[in-house]
Amino acid sequence: MTSKPLSNAGVSIPEVGLGTWEYRAGVEPLRRGLDAGALFIDTAESYGTEPVVGHAVAGIRDRVFVATKVSPEHFRFDDVLKAADASLKRLRIDRIDLYQLHRPNDAVPVEETLAAMERLVDAGKVRFIGVSNFSVAQLERARKAARKYPIVSNQVRYNVVDRTIEADLLKYCQASGLTVIAYSPLGRTFQSVLDCDPDGALADMARLTGRTMAQVALNWCLCADGVVAIPKGNSTAHVVENCGASGWRLTAEQRRLLDRRIRWRRRGRMEAFVRGVLPPPIKRAVRDIAQKLPPGLRRRFT
């Protein structure tokens, strides 16, 4: 497994980690992924997967980079401290490697939230501080509010069909030396990626490289400087397959071919805003409805 530096923190992490959003497969697939070299596992207090992650890393904790997130409703100073303690208990570990603000919360000053995050670093309960789903403006404010310890990462959606961050955020993070952790690097479902590939570019590239379509799609993300990916796999086979996306690279010409043939998109600011403010139950309802649409319309909800 190839590793990449985590910002300027002086440590490296596997470029393919293990995502656990809506993960339901138990301990064994995670352990197989760890055995395959994906020694970077990401969870969140809101996912409900911290306990299974704790079981998966038991006995090999010193080898695994564990990341989790605090939810926006816990961004007040004392609530951050309590949330971290609760996550540590569920994970059955004594220190979180990367503690991330899950989403921006304009109702709480980011200065207050980051003061609590830095208190956790001082206490030895957190190694590094990161954010998730932050725009350039939000990230700039958070970086200014980080007085003692730098923000090292921004976890955002990025894949071969959703390239919204390329408009400005990706370049900002690369120029600032911040690691981009790509979630949903295979789409919310891989079918949503295939919906945007009606000409079969991924299948053609898989035959050309001797890889699978999922490995090609993941490798496309990994070709970007400073980007690591945390795909989810709800079976041992899928987790091991995802790990096979590391250790090789698509050529520049192969990436250009995918760029030409796949019907990728970038979300506009209004769409991104609407998606950001919709409550999760409504988002799920929209996705469920979208799955019943023809592929051409379904692509709009990728």
Residues with active-site annotation: 47
How many residues are present in the chain?
302
Q: How far apart are CA 147 and CA 143, in angstroms?
A: 8
Q: Are 45 and 86 in contact (CB under 8 A)?
A: yes
Half-sphere exposure of 26 (CA within 13 A, CB side): 3
Q: How far apart are CA 117 and CA 130, in angstroms?
A: 10
Q: How far apart are CA 134 and CA 162, in angstroms?
A: 16
DSSP 73-106: GG-SHHHHHHHHHHHHHHHT-S-EEEEEE-S--T
3-state secondary structure 165-178: HHHCHHHHHHHHCC
Burial class (CB in 10 A: 0-12, 13-18, 19+), 176: middle
Q: Are 18 and 40 in contact (CB under 8 A)?
A: yes
Contacts of 287 (CB under 8 A, 6+ apart): 188, 301
Strands 12-14 and 3-5: antiparallel
